[in-house]
Amino acid sequence: MKKILFLCLSVIVLAGAVSCKKKEADSGKIKAIFIAMDSVDEHWLKAKAGCEDKAKELGNVDFTFNAPQGKLDAASQLQLVEDAITRKVQILLLAPLNKDALAPGVEKAKAAGIKVIIIDSPIGTENYDAFLSTDNGAAARLAADEMAKLIGNTGKIAIINAQAGAGTAMIRENDFKAQITAKYPDITIVGTQYSDGDKTKALNIGTDFMTANPDLAGIYACNEGSTVGAGQAIEQRGKSGAITLVGWDWTGDTKALVERGVLNASMVQNPYQMGYQGIQVGADLIGGKTAQKSIDTGVTVVNKDNMNSIK
């Protein structure tokens, strides 16, 4: 009797499992994931929100979000890509921490038939479907022009970048430097340091730059964390208005710095559109449509004059 009961229960459990799998298969849901650089910065949370809104709008996309715990952990981010491939996602949105370290994962995802949409930062392979980003080079050159204008085309400036080696970070640094060198011979870049996007590290770096250069005219910060940390350093030294800060991104913290007159200009991207359009592009590709290989989601120079028009 016990054997018969056990067999009956086994059949029920097996039937239930088959039924669940069939329901999942019959649901028609497209499995999409966004793997960001981290899950803390507002920049990535805005991109996530864009993904979520588009997935809800489409109605047939099962969206998930993931990110490594550390801002520098490209190995963990690669493992998340591997996991997504194993889970047979159909759309992979990826903001690569390191363009070379993540390239093998992207190649593997494409080989598995996954639609790969690169977000924000470049990847070290051409084997992807679309790249949605700010034109970081153009924006960095614009930041250099803005810095030069604000400091009167002369003086010492320092650069606080985020992750050394990250594609976006290096474009923002190198194109800024190239523009300053080419157009503004009376501006001297005294040094570049990397904060890993950490606000406390950026604060300490900014403080060190000001200590070593009492006549420092400006700081260029290449991401949100670096911008906020540099702004805090300027405030703590009582240098608001004396040292020009040109940074990146639009969050509660950067907005407050603009309001207080610490952050003079911020290069504001549209991460929400990166996520929103990224999911749409992936869904279109699965539906047999074509997509542009490179999509510019735009940048705005935000200051006290126009800050109230920015969301």
DSSP 77-96: HHHHHHHHHHTT-SEEEE--
Spatial distance between the Cα atoms of 229 and 221, rounded to a whole number of angstroms = 9
The verdict on 142 and 90 lying in the same domain is no
Query: Is 21 inside any structural domain?
Result: no
Query: Is 39 inside any structural domain?
Result: yes
pLDDT in tens, 195-251: 999 999 999 999 999 999 999 999 999 999 999 999 999 999 999 999 999 999 998
Average pLDDT, the chain: 91
pLDDT in tens, 112-160: 999 999 999 899 999 999 999 989 999 999 999 999 999 999 999 999 9
Spatial distance between the Cα atoms of 152 and 134, rounded to a whole number of angstroms = 27
Whole-number percent of the chain with pLDDT over 70: 91
pTM surpassing 0.85?
no
DSSP 296: E
The verdict on 143 and 264 lying in the same domain is yes
The verdict on 163 and 257 lying in the same domain is yes
DSSP 309: G
Model confidence at 311, pLDDT cuts 50, 70, 90, reads low
The verdict on 143 and 257 lying in the same domain is yes
Query: Is 82 inside any structural domain?
Result: yes
Stretch (H or E) spanning 187: strand 187-194
Kindly report the CATH number assigned to the domain that includes residue 94.
3.40.50.2300
The verdict on 124 and 209 lying in the same domain is no
Model confidence at 70, pLDDT cuts 50, 70, 90, reads confident
Token pair listed for 304: 């006290």
The verdict on 75 and 195 lying in the same domain is no
Query: Is 1 inside any structural domain?
Result: no
Q: How many CB atoms lie within 10 A of CB 73?
A: 18
pLDDT in tens, 31-63: 999 999 999 888 899 999 999 999 999 999 999
pLDDT for the residue 298: 87
Domain encompassing residue 76: 29-133+271-296
For the chain, what is the domain count?
2
The CA–CA distances, whole Å, from 19 to 6, 14, 31 equal 20, 8, 19
In which residue are the tokens 């504001």 written? 268
The verdict on 84 and 102 lying in the same domain is yes
The verdict on 157 and 93 lying in the same domain is no
pLDDT for the residue 10: 46
Q: Inform me whether the pLDDT recorded for 22 exceeds 80.
A: no
